[in-house]
């Protein structure tokens, strides 16, 4: 098996990035156990960098170290997703409102470019790039609000938002295409400096995502795939 890790770079950093990507983009499923021996074989490195990477992943909230031993991938619950929705529904419409009032022409151009890239990538079904672009769009709006605390909170929520989007895409693979239209409506309001419309379109977008996520989780339970 060809080695994934390049010896010319920091091993712990590479293992961390590799596992993080596997968790966020579906290579490692929520609830799946991480076995050191298997990871050593898969990456071609010793236990020490793997253990350091796992410690970092635990701090990120991506893995859970069990009291009885063993490490599993974090598995969001209904309550986690509901709490995330409540947080986003209060935070992001406010960020969109402030962005409409305070954005610069450069920030507007950045948002337009991200939207164009989303349209291009939607045709390629690239899940990782789709996640990155969608999060970047929301993060850029938070930054355009000129409120650094909003931008920081959005960045702190990135991990759970990624799980949230993965849950939706399992059952609604064409969701990125409809998101583009919703993002376009948000951007149009920001462009027109219509603060009320920007906040309303953002709230509608987040609410639609939440409903799809809850539908997906309920379907998973009915199929016996959830704990």
Task: Please tell me whether residues 69 and 88 are part of one structural domain.
Answer: no
Same domain, 131 and 176: yes
84 and 160 in contact (C-beta within 8 Å)? yes
Percent pLDDT > 70 in the chain is: 86
Q: Judge if 24 and 66 occupy the same domain.
A: yes
pLDDT for the residue 91: 97
Please say which residue of 73, 90, 124 terminates a domain: 73
Residues 105 and 157 in one domain: yes
How far apart, in whole angstroms, are the C-alpha atoms of residue 226 and residue 30?
Answer: 10
Considering the domain boundaries, does residue 89 fall inside one?
A: yes
Q: Are residues 165 and 97 both part of a single domain?
A: yes
More confident residue, 173 or 187: 187
From the list 167, 181, 152, the residue with the least C-alpha distance to 85 is 167
Number of structural domains the chain divides into:
2
pLDDT tens across 112-131, in order? 999 999 888 866 667 778 88
20-24, 135-139, 164-168, 180-184: least confident range:
164-168
- Tell me which range, 65-69, 148-152, 162-166, is most confidently predicted by mean pLDDT: 148-152
The fraction of the chain above a pLDDT of 90, given in percent, is: 48
Q: Confidence band (pLDDT; 50, 70, 90) for 213?
A: confident
Does residue 6 lie in a domain region? no
C-alpha distances (whole Å) from 138 to each of 26, 111, 148, 200 are 22, 9, 14, 15
Residue 4, both tokens:
């994934």
The sign of the CA dihedral 123, 197, 141, 84 is: negative
* Whole-number pLDDT of residue 200: 98
Which backbone phi and psi does 218 adopt, to 5 degrees? -65, -40
Evaluate whether residue 1 is within a structural domain. no
- pLDDT at res. 1: 46
Half-sphere exposure at residue 171, Cβ-oriented, CA atoms within 13 angstroms: 15
Assigned domain for 227 exists = no
CA neighbor of 65 nearest in space, from 55, 80, 75: 55
Task: With respect to residue 179, please indicate whether it lies within any of the assigned structural domains.
Answer: yes
CATH number of the domain at 114, please.
1.20.120.530
Same domain as 109, residue 151: yes
Does residue 227 have a pLDDT over 60? no
Q: Is residue 3 a part of any domain in this protein?
A: no
Q: Are residues 64 and 113 in the same domain?
A: no
- Model confidence at 209, pLDDT cuts 50, 70, 90, reads confident
Q: Do 191 and 99 belong to one domain? A: yes
- Which of 76-85, 108-117, 131-140, 172-181 has maximum average pLDDT? 108-117
Residues 85 and 63 in one domain: no
How far apart are alpha carbons 28 and 42 in whole angstroms?
13
215 and 109 within one domain: yes
- 15 and 32 in a single domain? The answer is yes
Residue 216 has what pLDDT?
72
- Which tens digits make up the pLDDT trace of 15-71? 998 998 888 877 888 889 999 999 999 888 889 999 999 999 998 888 999 888 899
The CATH number assigned to the domain holding 55 equals 1.10.10.10
Domain end point (choices 56, 73, 90): 73
CA–CA gap between residue 199 and residue 209 (Å, rounded): 16
Average pLDDT, the chain: 86
d(CA 136, CA 132): 6
Structure tokens at 154: 């959005």
Structure confidence at residue 221 as a pLDDT band (50, 70, 90): low
Are residues 120 and 185 part of one domain?
Answer: yes
Q: Which domain holds residue 187?
A: 78-222
Q: Which residue has the tokens 């016996």?
A: 224
Domain-ending residue, one of 73, 108, 126: 73
Asked whether the CA dihedral 8, 9, 15, 21 is positive or negative, the reply is negative
């Amino acid at each position: 098996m060809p080695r994934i890790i390049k010896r010319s770079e920091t091993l712990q950093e590479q293992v961390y990035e590799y596992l993080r990507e596997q968790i966020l983009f579906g290579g490692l499923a929520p609830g799946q156990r991480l076995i050191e021996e298997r990871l050593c074989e898969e990456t071609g490195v010793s236990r020490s960098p793997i253990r350091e990477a796992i410690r970092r992943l635990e701090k990120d909230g991506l893995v859970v170290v069990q009291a009885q031993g063993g490490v599993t991938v974090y598995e969001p619950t209904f309550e986690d997703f509901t709490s995330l929705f409540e947080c986003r529904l209060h935070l992001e419409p406010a960020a969109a409102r402030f962005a409409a009032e305070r954005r610069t022409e450069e920030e507007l151009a950045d948002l337009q470019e991200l939207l164009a890239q989303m349209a291009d990538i939607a045709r390629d079904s690239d899940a990782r790039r789709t996640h990155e672009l969608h999060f970047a769009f929301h993060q850029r709006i938070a930054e355009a609000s000129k409120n650094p605390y909003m931008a920081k909170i959005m960045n702190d929520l990135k991990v759970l938002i990624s799980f949230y989007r993965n849950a939706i895409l399992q059952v609604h693979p064409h969701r990125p295409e409809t998101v583009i239209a919703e993002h376009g409506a948000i951007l149009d309001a920001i462009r027109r400096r219509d603060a009320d419309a920007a906040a309303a379109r953002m709230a509608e977008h987040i609410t639609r995502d939440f409903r799809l996520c809850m539908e997906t989780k309920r379907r998973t339970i009915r199929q016996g795939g959830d704990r």
